[in-house]
A and B are shown apart, each in its own frame.
Chain A
Amino acid sequence: MEKGKAVNSFIQSMSIFIIVCILLMPLYLFIQSIPLFREFNPVDLLSGSWDVSDNTYGIGDFLVTSLIIAFLSTMVSLVISFGLALYMHQYKNTRNGKIVYGIISFMTGIPTVVYGFAGIVLLIPFMKKYTSSPSGLCLASVIVILSVLILPTITIYIYSSFGMVNKKNIMTALSLGASREQLYLHIIIPSSLRGIAIAAILGFSRAISDTMVPLMLSGNSLQIPGSLFSSGRSLTAHIAMELPGEYNGLEFRIIFFIGLILIALVVFFNIIVRFMERINE
C-alpha cells in the first residue's frame, strides 16, 4: 500500500514537473525576445524581410516559405497516405496488409537526417538534371522528402479513424449487397472525414516544425521563392543557421522569437485538432 502511494506521488510530481516545463518554455522564449521587441515592432518582424546590412530582421519571407513547404507537402502526402490507409484497412487481416502496416510503422522511427540524406543522394542529382534549379536545392526537393517524412503520421491516423466507424453501418451496407469499394465510398470515407482532416492538420504541424530536411535541401537563400524550383529558407532552418552567432546580438535574439512563433503555430493547430475531436465525439 505504501509502495503504491509512493508510486502515485512520483507519477503526480513528474506530471506537474512536465506541465511546468512546457509552460516555462514559451515564457523563457518571450523573455529572451524582449530586447528585440524594444528595438522593433513584432508586426514588422513578422512581415519584413531579412537584411542584416540594412538592419532589418524580418522573418516574413521565412514564414511564407515554411507555410508553402508545409502546405504543399501535406497535400502531396495526403493523396498517397489516403490510398495506403485504405489498403491497410481493406487488407488488415492479410499478410500483405500487415507487411504494409509494418513498413509504415517502421518509417515513423527513421531519423529525419536519413530522409535528408536520401534526398541529397537520390533526389538532388535528378532535380539538378531535369529541372530549372541549377543546384537541385529547391522547394520541390523539400516538398517531396517532407511528404515522405509525414506520410506515416497521416496514414496511421487515417487508418485508425477508419477503424472507429460504426460497425452496424458497415454490416448494414454489406447485408444490402454493397461491394467493397462501395462500402468505402459510401460508408467508411464519409464517416471518417473529420479524422482525415485531423490527420492532415497533424501532418502539417509535423512538416512545419521539421528542421533537418529544409536545412539540407532548400538551399537556404534569403528570399521568398519565386517558383517551386527556387531556393528558400524555412523558419526552422534559420534557427539552425543562426545558432553559431553572437549570443547577445539581435540576429541571435530573433531565434527566440522564431521559437515563440513556431510554438504558437503548433499550439494553434493542436487546439483545432482538439476542437474537431470534440465535435466528433
Chain B
Amino acid sequence: MSDPFLRAFRVYIWGSVIILLTGLGFFVIFLLIRSAKAISMENLSIAGEIFPAVTGTLTVTVLGLDWLHR
C-alpha cells in the first residue's frame, strides 16, 4: 500500500479529533465570553443565596440514601 495513502489515513484520523475539539472548544469559549458579561454583584448574591439550599438538599439526599442502604 502506498505511503501517501497511509499518511492520508493518519491525517483523516487526527483531522476528526481536531474537528471535534475545535468545535467544542469554540462553543465553550463563546459561552464563557457571553456569560462573563452577565456576571454582576446582584447575580452573585442570588447564587450565594441558592448555594446553601443546593448543598443542603444534596446532603439530605446522600444521608437518606446512606440510611436506606444500611
Q: Which residues of A contact B (CB under 8 A)?
A: 79-84, 86-87, 90, 100, 103-104, 118, 121-122, 148, 151, 179, 181-182, 184-185
B17 CB to nearest chain A CB (Å) = 5
Known contacts A86-B13, A118-B27, A184-B9; 5 further A-B pairs (Cβ under 8 A): A80-B19, A80-B20, A100-B17, A151-B20, A179-B6
Are the C-beta atoms of B23 and A84 separated by less than 8 Å? no
**Mask: chain B, 2-19; 1 = CB below 8 Å from A; 0 = not:** 000010011011111101
In angstroms, Cα B13 to Cα A181, docked, is 10
User: 24 pairs across A/B with beta carbons < 8 Å?
Assistant: A80-B16, A80-B19, A81-B16, A82-B16, A83-B15, A84-B16, A86-B13, A86-B16, A87-B13, A87-B14, A87-B16, A87-B17, A90-B13, A100-B17, A100-B20, A103-B20, A104-B20, A118-B27, A121-B30, A121-B34, A122-B30, A151-B20, A181-B6, A181-B10
Q: Is the interface of B mostly helix, strand, loop or mixed?
A: helix
- CB-based A-B contact count at 8 angstroms: 44
Find out whether the CB atom of B27 lies under 8 angstroms from the CB atom of A84.
no
Closest-by-CB residue of A relative to B30 is A122
Interface residue? B24 (CB, 8 A): yes
Give 8 closest A-B pairs by Cβ, nearest first. A83-B16, A181-B6, A84-B16, A86-B13, A80-B16, A87-B13, A83-B13, A87-B17
Report the minimum CB–CB distance from B54 to chain A (whole Å): 19
Whether A148 and B9, one on each chain, are in contact in the complex, defined by CB atoms closer than 8 angstroms, is no
Give the complex CA separation of A83 and B30 in angstroms: 26
Q: Could you tell me the distance in whole angstroms from the C-beta of A7 to the nearest C-beta in chain B?
A: 15
Q: Are A182 and B1 in contact (CB under 8 A)?
A: yes
Task: Give B18-39 interface residues, CB cut-off 8 Å to A.
Answer: 19-21, 23-24, 26-27, 30, 34
Chain B contacts of A79 at CB under 8 A? 16
CB distance from B37 to the nearest CB of A (A): 13
B27: which A residues are within 8 A, CB to CB?
118, 122
Cα–Cα distance between A145 and B65 once the two chains are bound (Å): 39
Q: How far is the CA of A122 from the CA of B30 in the complex (A)?
A: 8
* Chain B positions 40 through 67: 1 when the CB is less than 8 Å from some CB of chain A, otherwise 0: 0000000000000000000000000000
Q: B interface, how many residues as a size bin?
A: 10 to 19
The residue of chain A having its C-beta at the shortest distance from the C-beta of B24 within the complex is: A103
Find chain A residues with CB under 8 A from B17 CB. Answer: 83-84, 87, 100
Task: Give the residues in chain B near A81, CB-CB below 8 Å.
Answer: 16
Known A-B contacts A103-B24, A122-B27; A182 and B16 likewise in contact (beta carbons under 8 Å):
no
Residues of B near A121 (CB, < 8 A) are 30, 34
Q: Closest residue to B16 on the A side, CB-wise?
A: A83
Write out the residue numbers on chain A whose beta carbons fall within 8 Å of the beta carbon of B9.
181, 184-185
Among B1, B6, B12, B24, the residue within 8 A (CB) of A83 is B12
CB distance from B28 to the nearest CB of A (A): 10
Chain A residues within 8 Å of B10, by CB: 181
B25 to chain A, nearest CB (A): 10
Of B20, B21, B34, most buried by chain A (CB within 10 Å of CB) is: B20
Q: What residues of B have a CB within 8 angstroms of the CB of A83 in the complex?
A: 12-13, 15-17
> Within 8 Å CB of A184, what residues of B?
9
A151→B34 CA distance, assembly (Å): 26
Chain B residues with CB under 8 Å of A87's CB are 13-14, 16-17
